[in-house]
């Protein structure tokens, strides 16, 4: 792999990891508020809002940490990509139903509209895709 490709891989991996550590940590700090934000989407039964609010931030933290320390990068970027795709479907549902809610991406601290979150998630999905595929090229070049 060329030097620029390796540098791009590491920059994207670190940015994506730091982003998910930050977002996950903010949600862990105030899980009750995050559960309220999950409930605002009106897609899960009441009890599942708390399960999602208690689980998702830890998954985000773990994946972000794995990306940051450059371990299990492909599985972590795959999970991030899948979570992002699911969230994009849910955001599209919110837009289609005309709900005007805060996305809850950064807990109660930073507000953004579903449109803003959807645009941000397109970028996140591109980063996750890039990291997933560059990791494969990076490892095969190093070993071979």
| Domain containing residue 101 | 3-143
Provide the pLDDT confidence category of residue 24 given band limits of 50, 70 and 90. very high
Task: Give the residue-averaged pLDDT of 74-97.
Answer: 94
Q: At what angle do helices 46-68 and 73-97 cross, to 10 degrees?
A: 140
Q: What is the pLDDT of residues 93-113, one digit of tens each?
A: 999 998 888 877 776 667 788
Counted domains in the chain: 1
| Model pTM score | 0.85
- Give CA–CA dist 100/118, Å, rounded: 14
Residue ranges of the alpha helices (H) in 1-144? 3-29, 31-40, 46-68, 73-97, 114-143
- Confidence (pLDDT) at 143: 38
What percent of the chain clears pLDDT 70, i.e. is strictly above it?
A: 91
- Confidence (pLDDT) at 2: 73
């Amino acid at each position: 792999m060329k030097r620029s490709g390796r540098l791009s891989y590491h920059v994207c991996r670190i940015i994506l990891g730091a982003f998910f550590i930050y977002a996950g940590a903010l949600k862990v700090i105030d899980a009750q508020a995050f559960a309220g934000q999950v409930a605002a989407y009106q897609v899960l039964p009441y009890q599942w809002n708390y399960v999602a609010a208690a689980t998702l931030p830890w998954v985000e933290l773990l994946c972000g940490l794995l990306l940051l320390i450059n371990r299990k990068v492909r599985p972590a970027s795959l999970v991030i990509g899948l979570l992002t795709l699911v969230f994009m479907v849910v955001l599209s549902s919110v837009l289609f139903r005309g709900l005007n809610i805060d996305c809850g991406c950064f807990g109660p601290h930073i507000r953004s509209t579903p449109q803003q979150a959807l645009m941000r998630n397109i970028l996140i999905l591109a980063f996750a895709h890039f990291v997933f595929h560059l990791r494969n090229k990076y490892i095969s070049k190093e070993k071979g």
